[in-house]
Amino acid sequence: MASTADFKNGLVLKMDGNQLWQILEFQHVKPGKGPAFVRTKIKNVVSGKIVDKTFNAGVKVETATVDRRDMTYLYNDGTDYVFMDAETFDQITIVPELIGEGARFLLENMTVQVSMHEGAPLQVELPVSVELVVKHTDPGLQGDRSTGGNKPATLETDAEVQVPLFINTGDTLKIDTRDGSYLSRVNN
């Protein structure tokens, strides 16, 4: 159990019939009139739904024990993804829904963080950026500006992203895994 004074970003609460909610933001508010309260923005760990919730100051809330482990991505077995715990070498299978859009940037032997609660995986956090090689892209034409100076490129993981016209097949790019945007070209 934790009181509102113990709130911090990343804390996982157990509310609404054992659902897990992670605190994204919180703010202690002491109005001139009336009791103090805590305004929070929380995210459902399983569904990803984000809601605003207000707690009265001093209220006790049940917390959940969530441990984050470094795991190595091994392979996709056709439907699910197989990861190995870096310390115990145990292998676990994770469904694509827990990885989300980031799954298209997974490379074999990539280290990710897996949040676990009571032995069950809750979510997979990829590194903020990854370096991937361009498998195919059309040559950029200098006069072609109708698309804002971008063109599609297929990466080694078969993900397709928008890149500037000067990018060529074989270039290594730094890609943001949160939204799939191009960050920069990596010099080899």
Residue 82, pLDDT > 80, answer: yes
Residue 144, pLDDT > 80, answer: no
Q: Which of 158, 146, 155 is nearest to 182 (CA)?
A: 155
CATH of the domain at 103: 2.40.50.140
pLDDT, position 19: 84
pLDDT, position 165: 85
Strands (E) located in the chain: 2-3, 12-15, 19-29, 37-44, 50-56, 60-61, 67-76, 81-85, 91-94, 111-117, 120-125, 129-137, 150-155, 160-164, 172-176, 182-186
Per-position DSSP letters for 77-90, written without gaps between them? -SSSEEEEETTT--
Q: Which of 118, 110, 177, 167 is nearest to 139 (CA)?
A: 167
* 161 and 111 within one domain: no
Average of pLDDT values for 134-145? 76
pTM: predicted TM-score of the whole model, two decimal places = 0.70
pLDDT, position 18: 78
* 10 and 56 within one domain: yes
Average of pLDDT values for 136-157? 77
Highest mean pLDDT among 11-20, 49-58, 144-153: 49-58
* 113 and 166 within one domain: no
Average of pLDDT values for 176-180? 88
* 92 and 54 within one domain: no
End-of-domain residue from the set 101, 125, 149: 125
- Are the beta carbons of 167 and 173 closer than 8 angstroms? yes
pLDDT, position 142: 62
Residue 46, pLDDT > 80, answer: no
Domain range for 100 is: 67-125
Q: What is the pLDDT of residues 165-177, one digit of tens each?
A: 888 899 999 999 8
Determine the 3-state secondary structure of 157 from DSSP: coil
pLDDT, position 39: 93
180: alpha, beta or left? (left if phi > 0; alpha if psi -120 to 50): left
**Overall domain count for the chain:** 3
Residue 141, pLDDT > 80, answer: no
